[in-house]
Structure 1
Amino acid sequence: MSRASDHTPLKNPPKVTPSPRPSSSVLLISPTNQILLLHRVRTSSSFPSAHVFPGGTLSAKHDGEIPAPDSPLRHEDGEAYRLAAIRETFEESGILLAKNKKTGRLLTELGDKEREEGRKAVHGGKVKFTEWLAEKGGVADTDALIPFTRWITPPNVPKRFTTQMYLYFLPLPTTSSSSSSSSRPSASSLSAETDEVVIPTPTPDGGLEHTAARFLPAAKWLSLARSNRIILFPPQFFLLSLLSPHLGTTLTSATCPIPPRAALAAEREALEEFLAAPSAVGGTPEPSWADACISPVVLGPGQYGDGKGTMTVLRLDQAGEEAGMVGRERRGVREWVVMTRFQKEGPRDVDVKRAGEVFGEGWERGKL
């Protein structure tokens, strides 16, 4: 016979670590190599008031079968993650990353009204995304998504995600302009092909989740975050810092003339070379940017100062406990750390530094 005490609730039951929810995000690169960020509403339950890449959680209705929490595919790139990335980009910015099934080119011939009606219907669950696309003669351009790290929220955070990040390059413009911003088209609406494929200007979702949607060079977004004029969380700041030396270097402000197509293409080639180049820390190879899995480990606040007081340091070398479920080794990156001050409104004074600069030479030798 069981005792009554066997069924008495514990006063302080052990905390159960929530399982991370599958999600996708896209670093969408404009025809002039700028990056799209969305400004989240202040009341959002995730990243309130922050600037984020378009993206969101996977939907079984729209994106197909979602890997179960104990599945080895839960933390791997897959079709459901890719469909979610394209669907969420459409819902949140109005930009449709889909191909015309007949021509194989971007499906940009939809009118503004038709596109917005579809956007609202998909977001409201009135129509399945892939079915709506098929009715318009399109198919999601999942093959063009380039995996660019996975992030798993640390277990000490109550709302957790396992997020597959992707890069997507919108087509380069065919012509360049030396005119000023007052007379030239916006960077996102430039002709991308000789027969006038036009990328629509991104727009927010009417205030449901975002209040603004804008393309800017990666360096400009970082500058705004460093001056605390916008909020960027560590994953967004870190990934933008990787793109900044390569993309948008010839288009530094809204008043700059549009760079020649060859210069824009050279920027993209430089980024592709960076992404493909092998690297190592202390003789240990780093994972590729496509395969890196990062679950930040928080250190501090502690002794790491910058003249403004102590900073919280986030190590990026751990993949997290869940990554071990995939049946193969997943690793983060040892070369870099993110430094910030977590305040009530979000992270402030965010910066990226090499781990060796923060921890000393012992880090590179694997002794820390």
Structure 2
Amino acid sequence: MTSSADHKPLKNAPKVPAVAKPSSSVLLISPTNQILFLHRVRTSSSFASAHVFPGGALSKTHDGPIPAPEDPMRHTDGPAYRLAAIRETFEESGILLATSKKTGRLFTEISDEEREQGRRDVHSGKVKFIDLMENWGAVPDVEGLKPFTRWITPENVPKRFSTQMYIYLLPLAQISSASDSSSSGLKAEEDEIVIPTPTHDGGIEHTAARFLPANKWINLARQNRIILFPPQFLLTLLLSTYLAPTVTGPDSPIPSLSQLQAERDALLSFLYKPRTYAGEPEVSFAEACISPVALGKGEYGDKGQDGVGGVGRDTAVLVLDRPGNEVQGRGRRGLKEWVVTTKFVKTGPSDVDVRRREDVLGTTRVAGKL
């Protein structure tokens, strides 16, 4: 078990940083373009009490060979990362991102009882995930995963990961009357969840799993009603512009299929299109590699201020343009355009938000002087 301290930056990085453990995570998009989050409990093995995307560490048993720490491919999208993303999503949410060998469509040819037993068997190691897929006549849809940044935990954090983020779009054609009524409206957080609570570990890791529009998750985080770590906050905020932006309340109408598809097309264009910032080329979101760095006093704002734009002395400013020492010299780049501001408290990050780089660091630092 870990605590929030395992994810809080230390004042000084250790001489020998912890090895970043390879992991995968999925921003799972519903047929109505909403995002799935899992709520971890206080005793969770990582990111306790936070809301997180489905995901977890790579497994040699289930996912195949994992590149060694010194291998450049360890921090690159690859087969093990993709299979782990699908396996962990299945274990944690019960949603299987696979196609049927019979129909070529999303695999739905098992009963609820078979699905739950499969989740337990994979989690316990009773059966290999790929063997279960073969027995069921399912093929993991690794090609359906869209890379959406990699995050390498900074060296001054005790528990470190190298996490490949993906977007997966569940088919629009899978909308049913039951799912429409339960997943499209904005109900109170106490309402019945949309996706069954994960049961593979008796509810030890998660207490809830549900879809909501990205803008709703961001509003809850800004009110500190839920905990989102900086990567989850930034990526959800970016998606909120494109997915279900008009669904803002319980009475919001469900967008038409053509509107939903248009939202997805705009998102994918945003994901892959060439970008520039301050007149210089920026890396695409599909290729970005980010190792957030918390700036120290005097590294942001004017000398006589706590910070530009109302950034107080108790607020950390995380720059996102560093790719991490593990990939230095390999052409990987982070994102310059934004910084994350947050306060690190006992329970985890609070008051998380994303600001334009120049609004916090000042225009003199936009051109790469920091």
Bucket of the pairwise TM-score, normalised by the shorter protein: 0.7 to 0.9
Amino acid at match of 1:232: L
Moved more, 20-29 or 279-288: 279-288
Larger C-alpha radius of gyration, 1 or 2? 1
What do residues 101-121 of structure 1 show as CA deviations (whole Å, max 9, x unaligned)? 122111012111010000110
Residue 324 of structure 2 corresponds to residue 320 of structure 1: yes
- CA 1:176–1:125 in 2, change beyond 3 Å: closer, same or farther? closer
Residue of structure 2 in register with 1:276 after alignment: 272
- CA 1:100–1:56 in 2, change beyond 3 Å: closer, same or farther? same
Whole-angstrom distance in 2 between the partners of 1:80 and 1:267: 30
Residue of structure 1 in register with 2:137 after alignment: 137
Equivalent residues of 1:186, 1:201 under 8 A apart? no
SS at match of 2:73: coil
Whole-angstrom distance in 2 between the partners of 1:78 and 1:208: 30
Structure 2: gaps spanning 5 or more residues: 1-13, 185-193, 299-305
SS at match of 1:47: coil
Whole-angstrom distance in 2 between the partners of 1:301 and 1:119: 48
Equivalent residues of 2:43, 2:204 under 8 A apart? no
Whole-angstrom distance in 1 between the partners of 2:62 and 2:359: 45
Q: 2:347 aligns with which of 345, 348, 367?
A: 345
Moved more, 299-308 or 137-146: 299-308
Moved more, 300-309 or 273-282: 300-309
Q: 2:197 aligns with which of 196, 203, 219?
A: 203
1:258 Cα deviation after fit: 2.2
Equivalent residues of 2:309, 2:359 under 8 A apart? no
Whole-angstrom distance in 2 between the partners of 1:280 and 1:274: 12
Whole-angstrom distance in 2 between the partners of 1:110 and 1:251: 32
Whole-angstrom distance in 2 between the partners of 1:175 and 1:215: 14
Moved more, 241-250 or 27-36: 241-250
Task: Tell me the matched-pair count.
Answer: 338
Q: TM-score, normalised by structure 1?
A: 0.87
Amino acid at match of 1:168: Y
1:308 Cα deviation after fit: 8.0
Structure 1: gaps spanning 5 or more residues: 1-13, 189-199
Equivalent residues of 2:37, 2:209 under 8 A apart? yes
1:233 Cα deviation after fit: 0.3
What do residues 142-175 of structure 1 show as CA deviations (whole Å, max 9, x unaligned)? 0000000000000001110000000000011477
1:184 Cα deviation after fit: 5.2
What do residues 305-350 of structure 1 show as CA deviations (whole Å, max 9, x unaligned)? 76584310000000000013xx731010000100000000011110
Residue 300 of structure 2 corresponds to residue 304 of structure 1: no
1:16 Cα deviation after fit: 1.8
Moved more, 200-209 or 356-365: 200-209
Q: 1:360 aligns with which of 359, 362, 367?
A: 362
Whole-angstrom distance in 1 between the partners of 2:311 and 2:151: 29
- CA 1:146–1:207 in 2, change beyond 3 Å: closer, same or farther? same
Q: TM-score, normalised by structure 2?
A: 0.87
Amino acid at match of 2:181: P
